[in-house]
């Protein structure tokens, strides 16, 4: 049986960072097990290629929610990246740290050592953002850029937001998040820059790092209360490897709790109902699932050329030529062009709503199929939802995805915030700067006026924007799965370092927070190793 100091389960965002940091000194032998393959698709490097990858089974696990009454019994897609680099291969590349209060709330809830003061240095450590000021990192592994392309209608949206009283904010990742401007993205020279690019690829030549792809982990191996290794399937064979120091789960908020439950760790009643022997009781496994729920409001526009037309026929040919000649143009765009972080009530201390403006409209938003006529979209999401769901296995078969129940819009606070957020979006579009461009509101349409209508629209049309967190939350209460050093409570030799440990949602897209968790997690692991040496 092969043995390593650390076995990392998952080669996604957190796994790439851990692999780099834990092997940098040369002292530790590290194995990374990734169920997917290498990032070889041409669509990965082209930012606009995310729309092709969201339906690609090779790079996307393509999970789905259970049908729930709160969202009109619809099944909602929950994409998750598959392959070395994980979701940073297929996401919209938007980079948002969140608000200082998010991390202070983690601390106040029992995650001591995770306040904004504690985690801010790790954001700077990972960032390579040459447009930022002293609050930003400038020489980290993750290359960042501001969206480069400018269009008349996106500038008009900014002006309309200013007319509505929203300030311009050049860097929402610095001191204040409030305001509008152009998004920051994980790109370099007009190309996607993934966790694979920034962290794993530079480490692949190290002799103390081994990476196994197409390696689907089946279960954790224990000697009493100590995790001593994992068993995985590769090329039809079951292989067991030993971990001399620790096994580190970095499989994400969906698959880390799944693997714990498959290994007999979780709620006894659930495990016993599936015939899985209970190895260790942790009631919080698979609980506390939180995600961002968003609606997309669409308008038919005039007097400008939008992505709907730019991505077709001869214009698409020009765009392809422009991209490969200069790494510029519409193929550099991801899911958001212009941002807005807005307070839906004047008494709010910080923004509670996020907006994604793009001069495109979707005939099918879930599949990213664009309209043929000119259009624009404003995606609307609540930053800190209070509705909480669950992710639990419903089969002993590791190849069967878990049952995902988001419980969207269960909270009255969430309902009211979504209603106000959509009303504000409509109000901004009605300002003078945008008025010359607007033909009509396609969705939800002028017929939606009362709060009940807005809520019905959200229930019927909203989607997750792919930010699952919390299912192995960090803390000190009975529902916590890991402690503040990310060790699984009550067990030895097992740690979790991914989005599942985040106890509460952060105010924005989560990839920056996941990278921070992995950077800080790596430091905690190395500190513990040094003390034990």
Residue 63: CB partners within 8 Å, gap ≥ 6? Answer: 77, 78, 79, 80, 254, 401, 404
Eight-class DSSP state of 197: I
Distance CA 219, CA 410 (A): 34
Residue 333 in contact with residue 358, Cβ under 8 Å? Answer: yes
In this structure, what are the phi and psi dihedrals at residue 107, rounded to the nearest 5 degrees? -60, -45
Distance CA 46, CA 48 (A): 6
Q: Is 201 helix (H, G, I), strand (E, B) or coil?
A: helix
Whole-angstrom distance between the N-terminal and C-terminal Cα of the chain? Answer: 24
Give whole-number Cα distances, 213 to 81, 83, 157, 209, in Å.
14, 8, 45, 13
Instruction: Characterise 95 by phi-psi region: left (phi > 0), alpha (psi -120 to 50), beta (else).
Output: beta
Q: How many CB atoms lie within 10 A of CB 497?
A: 27
Residue 227: CB partners within 8 Å, gap ≥ 6? Answer: 220, 221, 243, 246, 247, 488, 491, 492, 493, 494
DSSP E strand stretches across 102-214? 127-128, 142-143, 145-146, 179-182, 184-185, 187-188, 191-192, 209-212
Range 213-243 burial, b when 16+ CB lie within 10 A, else e: eebebbbbbbeeeebbbbebbeeeeebebbb
For every residue of 25-82, DSSP letters joined together read: TS-S-EEEE-SS-----HHHHSGGGHHHHTT-TTTB--EEBPPBGGGTTB--EE--B-
Eight-class DSSP state of 219: E
Token pair for 508: 């924005």
Q: Which residues pair with 339 in a beta bridge?
A: 181, 356
Active-site hit among 292, 359, 392, 467: 467
Residue 169 in contact with residue 181, Cβ under 8 Å? Answer: yes
Of 344, 436, 341, 406, the residue nearest 379 (C-alpha): 341
For every residue of 129-141, DSSP letters joined together read: -TT--TTS-BSSS
Q: Measured in whole angstroms, how far is the alpha carbon of residue 167 from the centre of its chain?
A: 27
467 catalytic, yes or no?
A: yes
Residue 14: CB partners within 8 Å, gap ≥ 6? Answer: 86, 250, 252, 497, 498, 499, 514, 515, 517, 518, 521
Residue 90 in contact with residue 59, Cβ under 8 Å? Answer: yes
The catalytic site residues sit at 467
């Amino acid at each position: 049986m092969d043995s390593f100091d650390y076995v990392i389960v998952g080669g996604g965002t957190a796994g790439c960072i851990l692999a780099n940091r834990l092997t940098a000194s040369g002292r530790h032998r590290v194995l990374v097990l990734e169920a997917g393959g290498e990032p070889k698709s041409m669509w990965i490097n082209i930012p606009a290629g995310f729309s092709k990858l969201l339906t690609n089974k090779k790079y996307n696990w393509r999970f789905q929610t259970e049908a729930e009454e709160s969202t009109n019994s619809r099944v909602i897609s929950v994409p998750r990246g598959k392959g070395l680099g994980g979701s940073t291969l297929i996401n919209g590349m938007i980079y948002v740290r969140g608000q200082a209060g998010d991390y202070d709330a983690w601390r106040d809830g029992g995650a001591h050592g995770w306040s904004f003061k504690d985690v801010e240095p790790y954001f700077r450590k990972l960032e390579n953002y040459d447009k930022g000021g002293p609050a930003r990192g400038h020489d980290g592994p993750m290359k960042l850029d501001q969206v480069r392309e400018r269009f008349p209608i996106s500038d008009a949206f900014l002006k309309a937001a200013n007319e509505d009283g929203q300030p311009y904010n050049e860097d929402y990742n610095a001191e204040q998040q409030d305001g509008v401007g152009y998004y920051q993205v994980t790109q370099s020279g007009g190309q996607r820059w993934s966790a694979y690019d920034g962290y794993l690829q530079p480490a692949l030549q190290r002799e103390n790092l081994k990476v196994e792809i197409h390696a689907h982990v089946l279960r954790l191996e224990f000697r009493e209360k100590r995790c001593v290794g994992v068993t995985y399937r590769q090329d039809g064979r079951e292989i067991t490897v030993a971990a001399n120091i620790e096994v580190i789960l970095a499989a994400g908020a969906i698959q880390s709790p799944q693997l714990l439950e498959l290994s007999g760790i979780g709620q006894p009643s659930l495990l016993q109902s599936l015939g899985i022997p209970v190895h260790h009781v942790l009631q919080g496994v698979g609980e506390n699932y939180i995600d961002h729920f968003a609606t997309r409001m669409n308008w038919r526009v005039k007097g400008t050329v939008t992505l709907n037309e730019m991505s077709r026929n001869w214009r698409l040919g020009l765009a392809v030529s422009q991209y490969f000649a200069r790494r510029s143009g519409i193929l550099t765009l991801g899911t958001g062009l212009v941002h807005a972080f807005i307070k839906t009530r004047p008494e709010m201390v910080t923004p509670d709503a996020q907006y994604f403006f793009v001069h495109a409209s979707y005939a099918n938003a879930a599949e990213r199929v664009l309209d043929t006529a000119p259009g624009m979209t404003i995606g609307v999401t609540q930053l800190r939802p209070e509705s909480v769901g669950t992710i639990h296995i419903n089969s002993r078969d590791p190849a069967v995805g878990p049952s995902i129940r988001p419980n969207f819009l269960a909270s009255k606070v969430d309902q009211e915030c979504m209603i106000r957020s959509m009303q504000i979006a409509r109000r901004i579009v009605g300002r003078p700067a945008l008025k010359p461009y607007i033909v009509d509101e396609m969705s939800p349409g002028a017929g939606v006026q009362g709060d009940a209508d807005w809520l019905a629209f959200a229930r019927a049309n909203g989607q997750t924007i792919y930010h699952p967190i919390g299912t192995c939350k960090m803390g000190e209460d009975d529902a916590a799965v890991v402690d503040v050093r990310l060790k699984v409570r009550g067990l030895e030799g097992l740690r979790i370092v991914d989005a599942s440990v985040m106890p509460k949602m952060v105010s924005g897209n989560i990839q920056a927070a996941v990278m921070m968790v992995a950077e800080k997690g790596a430091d905690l692991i190395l500190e513990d190793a040094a003390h034990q040496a």
